[in-house]
Structure 1
Amino acid sequence: MSPTSTPRESQHMHSVFGQHPSGVLLAAQLVAVLAYPFLDDSAPGRALLGVLQLAVVLIALWAVRRTPALSWIAVIFGAPAIVFTVLEALVPDADWVVLVSALLHTTFYFYISYGMIKYLFHDDRVTRDELYATGAAFTVVAWGFAYLYAAAQVVWPGSFIAASGTGEREWFELLYLSFSVLTSVGLSDVTPVLAHARSLVMVEMVAGVLYVALVVARLVGLTVSRHVR
């Protein structure tokens, strides 16, 4: 590679990332999901996971600037979420820290998903970043419900059980449950057993069906009509 081509390639990469923040957010979330099983068994790994979670929050803040949502509202919830992500890594056994962190992340991710869905509905054109935003919004909703489940099991201990037994479920198990419910595949071995937990799971079931019926169906319809025209 010649020295003259390096700045041009760097500028091209910067342009791609700048034009598709939703794609960067989607990629960061998928990387975090794939990295979790490799990093959760050690203290350095958990610290690196914390850094990844912080990165996802920051990328989400960056991505929401392209949407019709209000960035300052996202910052109001995102900044404390970053602080409590660090606190939770330092004192993972403090229930109040886990609860506040989960509630902040839940509110933050739901607002980010609102901004992205609003972004998808703001015009009748389908851009490449909007395609990425469709996937990113879906994963953001799944993360939001996973944190909501984490808060629920602090308030109502024993809300979820799994094949491995009773007790508090790890956040990755709750994320697995959230993706299973949102996609309606029903493959999770984590099960809600208390009434409040089942209520939250039913709400996510409805959210998953509505997302496909409203967001994905509209996107497909616009794509087909564009080709027809």
Structure 2
Amino acid sequence: MLPFIKREPSAILLAVQLAGLLLYPFMEGDGVSRALFSAFGIVVLALVVLAVRASPTWTWVGLMLGVPATILLIIQAITNSDDLFPYSAGLEAILYFYATYGLIRYMLADHVITRDELFAVGATFTLVAWGFAYVFVVWQAIEPGSFIAAIDPEAQRSWVELLFLSFTTLSSTGLSDVVPIDPFARSLVMIEQLVGVAYIAVVVSRLVALTIPRAPR
């Protein structure tokens, strides 16, 4: 198993993040659920750092961001408190965006498409979605009430709600019932929309072009 993880870290990262989409709704709440949420976050952080290590970027930068974020998640699990979540979210957002940069460099480094690079297309997309969701968490902590929803509009939005907003924004589907009402929150959402369009236009189109056999001249 370990050789496979080292050989195809992007595939493992994508699989775990997709599993997270199904598991997160059951990990929201107090007590054991919050501890499981923190533990799962630590696993994802470790895989992100591993993905950075496999990409043409500096591993020490990933460790410098991942280690303190992991410590904060452990403290949250022990204390059963969400007070440190915005701080760990800020570190995780930076790490996810740095890992995104590394995976894009990894995918565009040559003209040969490997299986792991194809998995990296999906993993990079989820990294960006997670990164912006963590940015939303940080901004909501700074400016409470920046995001409202159809259900309980006055409450702070949960992690799953903000992640749902991030995915619907990045994919340009616009299906989210979570709405940014603070001007700066709307600016963040607009930036994510631009990133989503640029990602599809640049990365996916280039990889698709490389996988299509060229006609002999």
Alignment equivalent of 1:124, drawn from 111, 118, 123:
111
* Equivalent residue, structure 1, for 2:90: 103
Contact 2:30 / 2:80 at 8 angstroms: preserved in 1? no
What is the Cα deviation at residue 120 of structure 1?
Answer: 0.7
Check if 1:29 corresponds to 2:13. Answer: no
Contact 1:117 / 1:137 at 8 angstroms: preserved in 2? yes
What is the Cα deviation at residue 157 of structure 1?
Answer: 1.2
* Equivalent residue, structure 1, for 2:155: 167
What is the Cα deviation at residue 36 of structure 1?
Answer: 1.3
Check if 1:85 corresponds to 2:76. Answer: no
Q: Give the letter aligned to residue 212 of structure 2.
A: V
Q: Aligned residues: percent identity?
A: 45
What is the Cα deviation at residue 132 of structure 1?
Answer: 0.7
* Equivalent residue, structure 2, for 1:180: 168
Contact 1:32 / 1:49 at 8 angstroms: preserved in 2? no
What is the Cα deviation at residue 86 of structure 1?
Answer: 2.2
Check if 1:142 corresponds to 2:111. Answer: no
Deviations 1:168-203 (A, max 9, x none): 111111001000000001111100001010000000
How many residue pairs match? The answer is: 214
Q: 1:163 to 1:62 in 2, by over 3 A?
A: same
* Equivalent residue, structure 2, for 1:63: 51
Alignment equivalent of 2:101, drawn from 103, 111, 114:
114
Q: C-alpha root-mean-square deviation of aligned residues, in Å?
A: 1.5
What is the Cα deviation at residue 88 of structure 1?
Answer: 3.3
- Larger radius of gyration, structure 1 or 2? 1
Contact 1:74 / 1:111 at 8 angstroms: preserved in 2? yes
Contact 2:35 / 2:80 at 8 angstroms: preserved in 1? no
Aligned pairs for 1:143-222 within 5 A? 143-164=130-151, 165-222=153-210
Contact 2:17 / 2:44 at 8 angstroms: preserved in 1? yes
What is the Cα deviation at residue 101 of structure 1?
Answer: 1.4
Q: 1:99 to 1:49 in 2, by over 3 A?
A: closer
Give unpaired runs (5+ residues) of structure 2: none
Give unpaired runs (5+ residues) of structure 1: 1-12
Separation of aligned partners in 2, 1:198 and 1:139: 21
TM (normalized to structure 2)? Answer: 0.93
